[in-house]
Amino acid sequence: MATPNKPLTVIVSRIVNISLAAPSQWEGVTSDNRRVYIRYRHGSLRIGIGQTQDEAVTDGTTYTAQLGDGYGMTYAELRSVAPEWLQLPEEEDLDLLW
């Protein structure tokens, strides 16, 4: 019996806000050491995942969603709108990742 495709859960172990102004941007590391880039601007949320941070930013677009027309969002707002397959930490890390 075939089962429907279900996205694998991506567990983000650390995440840091890298922009205090618009656009809202975060960089993170997954539990399997991949890099994550999340950006929100003009209502558009983009999540990229790659083997390197550069790949996550430029080539790793995994998810996009139009969520209105806002310029920025808080981490709490990000957690509330993140896709269910993306498991974010309860809090942002305050130290830079690299």
Structure tokens at 77: 């707002």
User: Residues near 93 by Cβ (< 8 Å), separated by ≥ 6?
Assistant: 14, 15, 16
pLDDT tens profile 3-36: 455 568 999 999 999 987 889 999 999 999 999 9
- Angstrom CA distances, 56 to 2, 4, 52, 62, stand at 32, 27, 6, 9
pLDDT tens profile 44-93: 999 999 999 999 999 877 899 999 888 889 999 999 999 999 999 999 99
Whether the pTM exceeds 0.85: the reply is yes
Q: With beta carbons less than 8 A apart as the criterion, state whether 89 and 14 touch.
A: yes
* Domain ranges across the chain: 18-87
